[in-house]
């Protein structure tokens, strides 16, 4: 009878191991053989992902062995890659819209706030350049700037080599600026569009890929202009009048 029981247990063990795929990489396995060698009445602390066979649970009950699973460590938040970092900035006129957009963006991106941090007056070129330089340096994936009209920030950002800033006022311009122009900085006018439209524009802009193809050569020509700006002319001193013989 004992031999028959042992055969049954061995057969069940094979089936269980085949079903759960043991050995499983990185996971411990607790079977009845181990528990039969464990002193009666002890408490075993197991890793959270330990595989316990049905026979092991039966033996544990028979031998009054308590099986306790240790607390799982808190999950480690996955680090957001640099390709998903978005820099955002605004002057005092775009401060409230910036704060609202930050909340929306935080669900999917690592947001870098380049200011301003209040409604106190600031100069929009300073904010625009702070965002644009992060984009140009590759520190962030994209940049978003908000001021009253979006125009001045666009002008300032485009002075930074490597930046292709586009002012967008609806979803169509957001798509076009990405598909055709590969814009890497978006500027918005808080005085021209409402918060709901701003969110739609941002989502569309961030979610639209560059079309490439015939557009790639044209964008390359835009980028080439970064190194083709004319050098300011240096005034050349006027030549001294030639001396002539007086005949004397």
The CATH number that applies at residue 143 is 3.40.1400.10
| 59 and 179 housed in the same domain | no
69 token code pair: 């699973």
- Check residue 45 and give its pLDDT: 78
Task: Respond yes or no on whether the N-terminal peptide bond of residue 134 is cis (omega within 30° of 0).
Answer: no
Crossing angle of the two packed helices 195-207 and 171-179, in degrees rounded to 10: 20
Tell whether 240 is covered by a domain. no
Query: Which DSSP letter does residue 54 get?
Result: H
Tell whether 76 is covered by a domain. no
Tell whether 242 is covered by a domain. no
| 119 and 192 housed in the same domain | yes
| 175 and 138 housed in the same domain | yes
**What's the pLDDT tens digit per position in 76-120?**
334 444 448 999 999 999 999 999 999 999 999 999 999 999 999
- Is the Cβ–Cβ distance between 59 and 83 less than 8 Å? no
Tell whether 236 is covered by a domain. no
**Is 58 or 129 the better-scoring residue by pLDDT?**
129
Distances (CA, A) of 50 to 12, 29, 32, 69, 104: 19, 6, 14, 8, 39
Q: How far is it, in rounded angstroms, from Cα 61 to Cα 67? A: 9
| 100 and 210 housed in the same domain | yes
**Is 211 or 43 the better-scoring residue by pLDDT?**
211
**What's the pLDDT tens digit per position in 187-246?**
999 999 999 999 999 999 999 999 999 999 999 999 999 987 554 454 544 544 544 444
- Check residue 190 and give its pLDDT: 98
Q: What range does the domain containing 56 cover?
A: 7-69
- Is the Cβ–Cβ distance between 48 and 72 less than 8 Å? yes
Q: Please tell me which residue in 92, 117, 180, 215 is annotated as part of the active site.
A: 180
| 53 and 131 housed in the same domain | no
- 145-159, 164-178, 226-240: least confidently modelled range: 226-240
| 139 and 207 housed in the same domain | yes
Q: Which residue has the tokens 């929306």?
A: 104
| 135 and 222 housed in the same domain | yes
Q: How far is it, in rounded angstroms, from Cα 246 to Cα 206? A: 78
Task: Respond yes or no on whether the N-terminal peptide bond of residue 16 is cis (omega within 30° of 0).
Answer: no
- Check residue 9 and give its pLDDT: 58
| 100 and 200 housed in the same domain | yes
In this model, does residue 128 exceed pLDDT 70? Answer: yes
Q: How far is it, in rounded angstroms, from Cα 200 to Cα 8? A: 65
Question: pLDDT band at 38, cuts 50/70/90?
Answer: confident
Tell whether 32 is covered by a domain. yes
Question: pLDDT band at 70, cuts 50/70/90?
Answer: low
Tell whether 75 is covered by a domain. no
| 138 and 16 housed in the same domain | no
Mean pLDDT for 163-184 is: 98
Tell whether 241 is covered by a domain. no
- DSSP strand pairing (185-189 vs 165-167): parallel
Tell whether 235 is covered by a domain. no
- 40-49, 139-148, 203-212: least confidently modelled range: 40-49
212 alpha carbon, distance to own chain's centre = 22
- Is the Cβ–Cβ distance between 31 and 8 less than 8 Å? no
Mean pLDDT over all residues of the chain?
Answer: 82
- Final residue of a structural domain among 69, 92, 120: 69
- Check residue 71 and give its pLDDT: 53
| 146 and 102 housed in the same domain | yes
Proportion of the chain above pLDDT 90, given as a percent: 57
In this model, does residue 125 exceed pLDDT 90? Answer: yes
- Final residue of a structural domain among 69, 100, 119: 69
Proportion of the chain above pLDDT 70, given as a percent: 75
H or E, element range at 30: strand 29-30
Give this prediction's pTM.
Answer: 0.61
| 217 and 99 housed in the same domain | yes
Active site residue 64: no
Domains of the chain: total: 2
Question: pLDDT band at 20, cuts 50/70/90?
Answer: very low
| 46 and 101 housed in the same domain | no
Task: Respond yes or no on whether the N-terminal peptide bond of residue 131 is cis (omega within 30° of 0).
Answer: no
């Amino acid at each position: 009878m004992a031999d028959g029981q042992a055969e049954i247990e061995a057969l069940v063990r094979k089936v269980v191991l085949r079903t759960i795929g043991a050995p499983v990489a990185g996971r411990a396995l607790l079977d009845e053989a181990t528990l039969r060698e464990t002193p009666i009445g002890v408490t075993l602390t197991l890793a959270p992902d330990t595989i316990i066979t049905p026979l092991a649970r039966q033996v544990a009950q028979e031998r009054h062995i308590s099986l306790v699973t240790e607390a799982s460590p808190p999950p480690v938040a996955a680090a957001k890659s640099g390709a998903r970092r978005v820099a955002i900035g605004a002057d005092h006129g775009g401060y409230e819209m910036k704060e609202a957009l930050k909340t929306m963006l935080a669900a999917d991106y690592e947001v870098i706030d380049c200011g301003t941090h209040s409604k106190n007056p600031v100069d929009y070129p300073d904010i625009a350049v702070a965002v644009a330089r992060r984009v140009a340096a590759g520190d962030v994936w994209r940049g978003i700037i908000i001021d009253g009209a979006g125009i001045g920030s666009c002008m300032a950002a485009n002075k930074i080599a490597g930046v292709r800033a586009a002012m967008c006022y609806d979803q169509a311009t957001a798509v076009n600026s990405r598909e055709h122009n590969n814009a890497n900085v978006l500027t918005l006018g808080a005085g021209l569009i409402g918060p709901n439209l701003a969110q739609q524009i941002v989502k569309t802009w961030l979610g639209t890929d560059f079309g490439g193809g015939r557009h790639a050569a044209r964008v390359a020509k835009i980028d080439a202009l970064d190194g083709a700006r004319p050098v300011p002319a240096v005034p050349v001193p006027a030549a001294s009048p030639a001396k002539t013989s007086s005949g004397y």
